[in-house]
Amino acid sequence: MKTITLLLTIVLALGAGISAVPAPKAEDHFTLNKVADGVYAAVAKTGGLATGNASFVVGDEGVLMVDTFLTPAAVEDLIGVIAAETKQPIKYALNTHYHLDHTGGNQVLAARGVPIIAHEKLIEWQTVKNRRFLPVTDELQKRREAEAKQLSEIPADQADKRAPLERQLRRFDALMTIKLTNPSVTFPAGTIRLHLGKREVILFTLPGHTGGDVLAYVPDANVVFMGDMGWRKTLPNLVDATVNDWITSLDSLLGQYPNAKFVPGHGEVATAADIREFRDYLDDLRTRVKQAIATGLTIEQAKEQLKLPEKYKEFGFQNFAAPNVEDMYKELKGTKF
């Protein structure tokens, strides 16, 4: 239960930004970036209802959507953006992994009859493990009521104090619209090719973030969609991670695509140098925690004493710093799974 509370706090905190907005609009959820011809990244905005990035690839016979954000509302906005860019229908959607901030909008695609492709592990995980991020409605309702009570005690003229609570309430409301929805096409570790007419997209698996991650490569644009195998200037969620595998996966990816553009699961569109910086964060974390274990620190002492190196202080999601130490410690001790 403690873990559920922590994770829910994180999911909610990820949406808590600074500026006040009266109601969420399309442009409040994400910023659209053109990465190459017919290749777009929708980068999640702090405080919106997207949380994770999503993307789309336009071919001459259909569109691939990569990930479906945290909420149906955000993915509806993305569908609107796609319709404004092209008359081609959405032919496929991909879930890069099961985490709710990448699959929360699945129901919208399923209702439109769009096949949702994913690693085969998602059939086991999608509607079960996501309960860590999405408590049942009664629980959400209780939290929403507590939040609403707090808001009612703040005078109407204190807009700056009301804004974060109002944002949380919108988030609770959006979370309550989610019906955890499985993908409809799955594959084991390996590669499959999607054909959007002349344009090809290669889907492939790599271990590291969850053990059920799929990446996508567009050869004619030299763009790699990483899902949460890549984070740009952002501390990662390691709750399901195997960092040892992850570092190896990133080394092989960077070796294979040294000049590609990378669309990460969180943060702006990245270069190989950005992905290397993220790889080095994982490597630094592993080294620091190894040393902590060697000097006999307990997990609590390690979390307390290992301060984030200065160069990562500007990264987003600073709330993940201590949980990263804990997850790394458990992985190295063999007590994580």
Residues that bind Zn ion (CB under 5 A): 99, 228
DSSP tag of 1: -
CB of 158 to Zn ion, least distance (A): 35
In angstroms, the CA 94 to CA 222 distance is 18
CB of 210 to Zn ion, least distance (A): 6
CB of 22 to Zn ion, least distance (A): 30
User: Per-residue DSSP letters for 150-191?
Assistant: HHHTS-TT-HHHHHHHHHHHHHHHHHTT------SEEE-SSE
CB of 264 to Zn ion, least distance (A): 11
Phi, psi of 134 (to 5 degrees): -130, 90
Q: Which residues contact 114 (CB under 8 A, 6 or more apart)?
A: 65, 90, 91, 92, 93
The smaller minimum CB distance to Zn ion, of residues 28 and 228, is found at: 228
CB atoms near residue 110 (< 10 Å): 18
CB of 103 to Zn ion, least distance (A): 10
The smaller minimum CB distance to Zn ion, of residues 166 and 213, is found at: 213
- The H-assigned helical ranges of the chain are 2-14, 26-29, 72-85, 100-103, 106-111, 121-125, 137-152, 159-175, 243-256, 272-294, 299-305, 321-333
CB of 321 to Zn ion, least distance (A): 17
The smaller minimum CB distance to Zn ion, of residues 99 and 288, is found at: 99
In angstroms, the CA 144 to CA 172 distance is 6
The smaller minimum CB distance to Zn ion, of residues 132 and 164, is found at: 132
The smaller minimum CB distance to Zn ion, of residues 38 and 265, is found at: 265
Task: Tokens 């695609």: give the residue.
Answer: 109
CB of 183 to Zn ion, least distance (A): 15
Three-state DSSP class for 220? coil
In angstroms, the CA 108 to CA 67 distance is 12
The smaller minimum CB distance to Zn ion, of residues 228 and 331, is found at: 228
The smaller minimum CB distance to Zn ion, of residues 91 and 209, is found at: 209
